[in-house]
Amino acid sequence: MTARKMTAARKAKLFALDLLFPNRCGCCGTIIRWDALLCDQCADALENNAVCGWDMDDALFFRAEAAYYYADRARDGILELKRGGNGNFAEVIGIALAQRIKTRQTEFTADYIIPVPAKKSTIRERGYNQAALIAKEISRLTGIAVREDCLRRLESSSVQHTLDAKAREENAFGYQSCGKNLDGCRIILCDDVVTTGATARRCAALLQEQGAAAVMLLAGTITKRKEEAHGYRN
């Protein structure tokens, strides 16, 4: 069972909240202990679904890392996040990716974590941007500040997972720069799912247009199709 890492005040708050709204597994929705994030079965399944890093055929990225393959329980966790209401899996991903950052600190020291933005209408409907939830958990564990003022998503853009590869590339132009000054900054770009990489490439290019010196991509999950295209490495 994966437990939260928290202060005494947060423990008290979550314990009280659990009395009214029982805590549920971030992947399967089963009722679990108030201080847990996943049930034992889902936690064990995720251990066998972990990813290392992958080579990007693109100079936009210093490196790319993902926590899990987008399959089985990890896929269930992402879909639970997209449905809204249960942010447990974002914490699970955040814990895993924060550890990746700590092991890479000698190679890459980040100034900011920037989540891939969501449309305002999506945030209103879901209650949050899942990439931002993941970024904030990473920030809590690493101390790296989160910025959500550098990228924006146009309301007219389509939902990426409903599109084919070519349409995803075109739709990625729905992400726009906010024109901030990131001169010399080293950025962690954070997203929940990487499929073709179109969104990540677009966002990385926009960050570099604003002056970012280097971008490292951290994703909660990555599809098997992406693995076949690029291959993973440690």
pLDDT of 68 higher than 90: yes
Q: Where are the beta strands (DSSP E) in 85-213?
A: 112-115, 145-146, 151-153, 175-177, 186-194
Write out pLDDT tens, residues 118-176.
999 989 998 999 999 999 999 999 999 999 999 999 987 555 555 555 565 666 889 99
Q: Are strands 63-69 and 112-115 parallel, antiparallel or unpaired?
A: unpaired
What pLDDT score does 54 carry? Answer: 63
219, 185, 207, 184: which is closest to 100 by C-alpha?
A: 219
- Of residues 72 and 2, more confidence is placed in 72
**Distances from the Cα of 56 to the Cαs of 37, 144, 151, 216, in angstroms?**
31, 24, 22, 11
What pLDDT score does 233 carry? Answer: 45
pLDDT of 11 higher than 90: no
Task: Quote the DSSP letter at residue 146.
Answer: E
Q: What is the pTM of this model?
A: 0.84
What pLDDT score does 163 carry? Answer: 53
CB atoms within 10 A of CB 89: 31
- Of residues 177 and 230, more confidence is placed in 177
What pLDDT score does 49 carry? Answer: 81
Q: Where are the beta strands (DSSP E) in 44-203?
A: 53-54, 63-69, 112-115, 145-146, 151-153, 175-177, 186-194
Coil, helix or strand for 192?
Answer: strand
Coil, helix or strand for 63?
Answer: strand
Write out pLDDT tens, residues 174-210.
999 999 999 999 999 999 999 888 899 999 999 999 9
Write out pLDDT tens, residues 88-129.
999 999 999 999 898 888 889 999 999 999 999 989 998 999
Q: How confident is the model at residue 47 (pLDDT cuts 50, 70, 90)?
A: confident
pLDDT of 232 higher than 50: no
Sheet (strand 232-233) strand order: 145-146, 112-115, 186-194, 214-222, 63-69, 53-54, 232-233
